[in-house]
């Protein structure tokens, strides 16, 4: 290889990187790739979700600083680089009717304006591959949907010499993926495995509510089961957001590694030749980068 492979993962809040694609990133780092996590907001409006830490006035008064420290810990565990895009968390609106989003928040920024700092980062870091969320945000949090819009816009603009002329020398990433970690097939497989072992599955109600919701096209399954422990360590590092005794840890690690040993993605743009299905985000890129 004449050039190190580079992966950029764009996320909405600190902790998203550890719940979506963390084992993939840990694997690629240890195989010699450079990995940069871009965090669009500081998570300032996030609630303390870990019941063990709820009600702590010091945490609640300094949630932005606490979440930055959690991000530092998770970054170190995964071995990735990390950059803040600098926007303010929009919060998750609740109620009927939904309240308006707070003035100045990330989700209210014009996409063309919000894409500029990400274009600048793409041109500085020069990723071969970019990952982010689909148009539904993975789930309909306004910051996740905005992250999707901004990342797609930046992916298209980064290589255009007429766009964002003051944001550095053009660089065109070669592949764009959407994280697709929660599919019905995966949930069903883990549920069935738990039941077969005589264990209580956390997914029974999920499957009952799934209904007619469609499935995304999973094009790429990255084997990374050996890195699930690092993924979990990074997730637990986000202590305000994750209860180590909570929902996400009810399926034993060994069951996850045996039943679904991959993290899954949807390839949506590729400027290199690749054959689907894939087992590598850098499929097609490795040949191109070696030229």
Any idea what the CATH number is for the domain that residue 107 is in?
3.40.50.10320
Same domain for 94 and 206, yes or no, is no
Query: Does residue 132 lie in a domain region?
Result: yes
Tell me the pLDDT tens digit for each residue of 201-231.
999 998 998 877 778 999 999 999 999 999 9
Same domain for 98 and 206, yes or no, is no
Same domain for 76 and 111, yes or no, is yes
* Residue span of the structural domain in which 204 resides: 183-215
Among 104, 152, 155, which residue's Cα sits nearest to residue 126? 155
Q: What is the pLDDT of residue 225?
A: 98
Query: Does residue 211 lie in a domain region?
Result: yes
Reported as a pLDDT band with limits 50, 70 and 90, residue 40 is very high
Say which residue the tokens 């996030």 belong to: 46
**CB-side neighbour CA atoms (13 Å) of 28:** 27
Cβ–Cβ < 8 Å for 67, 22 = no
Assign 186 to helix, strand or coil.
helix
Alpha-carbon gap, residue 89 to 47, rounded angstroms? 11
Q: Judge whether 16 is annotated as a binding position.
A: yes
Confidence (pTM)? 0.95
- Packing angle, helices 22-30 and 63-78, rounded to 10: 50
Alpha-carbon gap, residue 7 to 5, rounded angstroms? 7
Query: Does residue 205 lie in a domain region?
Result: yes
Same domain for 30 and 56, yes or no, is yes
Cβ–Cβ < 8 Å for 114, 151 = no
Query: Does residue 1 lie in a domain region?
Result: no
Q: Judge whether 191 is annotated as a binding position.
A: no
Query: Does residue 190 lie in a domain region?
Result: yes
Reported as a pLDDT band with limits 50, 70 and 90, residue 139 is confident
Detail the DSSP E strand segments found in the chain: 6-11, 34-41, 81-87, 129-132, 175-179, 220-223, 262-270
Domains: count for the chain? 2
Q: Judge whether 13 is annotated as a binding position.
A: yes
Tell me the pLDDT tens digit for each residue of 227-240.
999 999 999 999 99
Q: What is the pLDDT of residue 2?
A: 52
- Tell me how crowded residue 33 is: count the other CB atoms within 10 A of its CB: 18
Reported as a pLDDT band with limits 50, 70 and 90, residue 18 is very high
Tell me the pLDDT tens digit for each residue of 248-271.
899 999 999 999 999 999 999 999
Among 250, 258, 238, 8, which residue's Cα sits nearest to residue 132? 8
**CB-side neighbour CA atoms (13 Å) of 164:** 25
Q: Which of 93-97, 168-172, 235-239 has the least mean pLDDT? A: 93-97
Q: What is the pLDDT of residue 1?
A: 41
Beta bridge partners of 221: 264
């Amino acid at each position: 290889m004449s050039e190190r492979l580079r992966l950029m993962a764009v996320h909405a809040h600190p902790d998203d990187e550890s719940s979506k694609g963390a084992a993939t990133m840990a694997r690629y780092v240890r195989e010699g790739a450079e990995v940069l996590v871009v965090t669009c907001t500081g998570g300032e409006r996030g609630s303390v979700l870990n019941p063990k830490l709820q009600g702590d006035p010091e945490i609640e008064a300094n949630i932005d600083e606490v979440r930055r420290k959690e991000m530092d810990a998770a970054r170190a565990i995964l071995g990735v680089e990390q950059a803040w895009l600098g926007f303010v968390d929009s919060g998750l609106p609740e109620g009927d009717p939904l309240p308006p989003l707070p003035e100045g928040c990330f989700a209210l920024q014009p996409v063309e304006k919000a894409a500029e700092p990400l274009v600048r980062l793409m041109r500085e870091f020069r990723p071969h591959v970019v990952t982010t969320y689909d148009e539904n945000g993975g789930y309909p949090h306004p910051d996740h949907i905005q992250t999707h819009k901004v990342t797609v816009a930046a992916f298209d603009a980064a290589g255009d010499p007429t766009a964002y002329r003051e944001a550095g020398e053009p660089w065109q990433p070669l592949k764009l993926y959407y994280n697709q970690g929660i599919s019905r097939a995966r949930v069903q497989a883990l549920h069935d495995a738990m039941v077969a072992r005589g264990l209580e599955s956390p997914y029974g109600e999920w499957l009952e509510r799934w209904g007619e919701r469609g499935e995304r096209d999973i094009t790429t399954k990255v084997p990374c089961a050996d890195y699930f422990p690092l993924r979990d360590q990074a997730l637990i590092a986000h202590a305000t957001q994750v209860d180590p005794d909570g929902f996400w840890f009810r399926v034993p690690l060994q069951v996850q590694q045996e039943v679904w040993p991959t993290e899954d993605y949807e390839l949506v743009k590729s400027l290199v030749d690749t054959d689907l299905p894939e087992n590598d985000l850098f499929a097609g890129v490795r040949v191109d980068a070696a030229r």
